Amino acid sequence: MRTPWIVGVSGASGTPYAASVLRGLFEAGVAVDLVVSRAARLTLLDETGLSFRDAHWRTDLATWLGSEPGDVGYWPAGDLAAGPSSGSYPSAGMVVVPASTAACAGIALGLSKDLLQRAADVTLKERRLLVVVPRETPYTRSTLQHMLALDEAGAVVLPANPGFYAGLATVQQLVDFVAAKILDVMGVKHTLSTRWTGDLGAGRS
């Protein structure tokens, strides 16, 4: 039986992080169910100039990633009757990348205002792994409280904070650093980053 990872893309800035995670999942041969919020479509258009349309999602996804996607299903964000809205729908877990503060709040409070939030709520209630990747900074008190609530509910809160060691120099390397951290938490093998060996400067070319 197909058991996908659900990838939710919310409206925070940081769509390159989502693209890098998706490419990593497909390269590892992992099945994916994709949910892109309405706000995320606006952010994607602003950051890349690309549209993401329900009727042409596969073509638009391939254009966004720069390659043909692997095993992927797509659920419109407004479809609250979709598979991931039910705990009986099999999934390995879910990652929300990037996670807007609104998405963090909605998931923490169990609002389920769209499929992304509902799928995340289901992931928590079924005790599956939920990884939430907030990017916005600085954080307000309420957002910090929401992230604490997510942690207490069993989610992994993984802020999109790139590291600068191992000779990272390009924007894509910094994006891939964060994606690598996400995939590590998900238990997905990848080659997106150079692992620490204990030797200073070992990652520099």
DSSP 88: T
**pLDDT tens for each residue of 138-197:** 999 999 999 999 999 999 999 999 988 777 889 999 999 999 999 999 999 999 988 877
Domains of the chain: 5-186 (3.40.50.1950)
Tokens of 195: 């692992």
8 Å CB contact between 71 and 31: yes
C-alpha to C-alpha distance for 81 and 70, rounded to whole angstroms = 24
**pLDDT tens for each residue of 63-85:** 999 999 999 999 999 999 999 99
pLDDT for the residue 204: 59
Residues 6+ apart with CB under 8 A from 190: 24, 27, 28, 179, 180, 183, 184
